[in-house]
Amino acid sequence: MSYRFIGKKLRLGRILRDDKAVVFAFDHGVEHGPKDFPEQYVNPKKILSLVVDVVDAVMLLPGVAALTSDIWAGKTALIVKVTSKTSLRPEESRLLQSPFGTVEDAVALGADAVAATVYWGSRQEDSMLRYWVEVKNSAEYYGLPCLQLAYPRGPAIKNRYDVEIVRYGARAAAESGADLIKTYYTGSTETFRRVVEAASGVPVLMSGGARAKTPLDFLKVVKSVMDADAQGVVVGRNIFQSVDPRGVARAIVAVVHEGLEPEEAVEYVRT
Ligand code: FBP
């Protein structure tokens, strides 16, 4: 049997415990800049310390993964994101993610998976796809699963949350060989189920998005995607911008892994 096949299966199993996953995303320092963070979490060590023993994996850019290895190592799985872009760029070039690291960096860091963004529909779709294929090919060699942040964005896309658009991106991600797909919530269980179907068996994880009004509102969204047969969530702002990041992370785990109703799970959150 192929060594790579076994490696990929083992690594995926570390992220998708019981076939479901809650991933903490903390790459916003580049994507949005430090302004996204409450002051006490600008240094990633503190926020990571609060959640590493709660979530199944953390998704970090290579530099922060290295700087915080003493915190996540042995506590949770690591997904190294190898593309990014700053919001300091002029508007017209913000729909391109650039290489921020390599698969070899991810392997060297001890990652369980590698992640890269493709803005489907962007004028720079072609160059992002080229890097995606490069990442995918190297990752296959090492038996490393590839998560694609399949984000439809571009001049032709009026509403990036529209179900037809989101399922198109999810399908394109599946067809480009993604092992895990991270994409936007489409507003209801019925529509998100169509996204999951379009992904044709590739696990779909919902991207958290901007902070919801209340933790309960966000937990209802998490429940909705789980009811749509999604396999979990990748959440940043709804955890690190909340008043109780650990409590919110624990509540999300309760909905995703333990099947709790949002109204029950919210009890984990201190107000
Ligand atoms: P959130 O849960 O905070 O939305 O994080 C998910 C994520 O994809 C991050 O990985 C990334 O930094 C950010 O959203 C990108 O946000 P935007 O939608 O502004 O590009």
Percentage of the chain lying above the pLDDT 70 cut: 100
Pocket test for ligand 1, best of 22, 23, 27, 235 (most atoms within 8 A of CB): 27
Amino acid identity, residue 147?
A: L
Whole-number Å distance, alpha carbon 19 to ligand 1 midpoint, is 23
Distance CA 239, CA 249 (A): 6
pLDDT of residue 242: 97
**Ranges of the chain whose pLDDT falls below 70:** none
**Predicted confidence (pLDDT) per residue in 32-41, tens digit:** 999 999 999 9
Residue nearest to atom 18 of ligand 1 (CA): 209
**Predicted confidence (pLDDT) per residue in 38-72, tens digit:** 999 999 999 999 999 999 999 999 999 999 999 99
Kindly give the pairing relationship between strand 98-99 and strand 113-118: unpaired
Q: What is the mean pLDDT of the chain?
A: 97
Q: Residues lining ligand 1, judged by CB closer than 6 Å?
A: 25, 27-28, 31, 149, 207-209, 234-238
Whole-number Å distance, alpha carbon 183 to ligand 1 midpoint, is 10
Distance CA 70, CA 92 (A): 38
Distance CA 87, CA 15 (A): 29
From its phi and psi, is residue 18 left (phi > 0), alpha (psi between -120 and 50) or beta?
left
CA dihedral 96, 237, 55, 115 (to 10 degrees): 0
Q: Is 270 exposed, middle or buried (0-12, 13-18, 19+ CB in 10 A)?
A: exposed
pLDDT of residue 92: 83
Work out the number of other CB atoms within 10 angstroms of the CB of residue 4.
14
Ligand 1 atom at minimum distance from 182 CA: 8
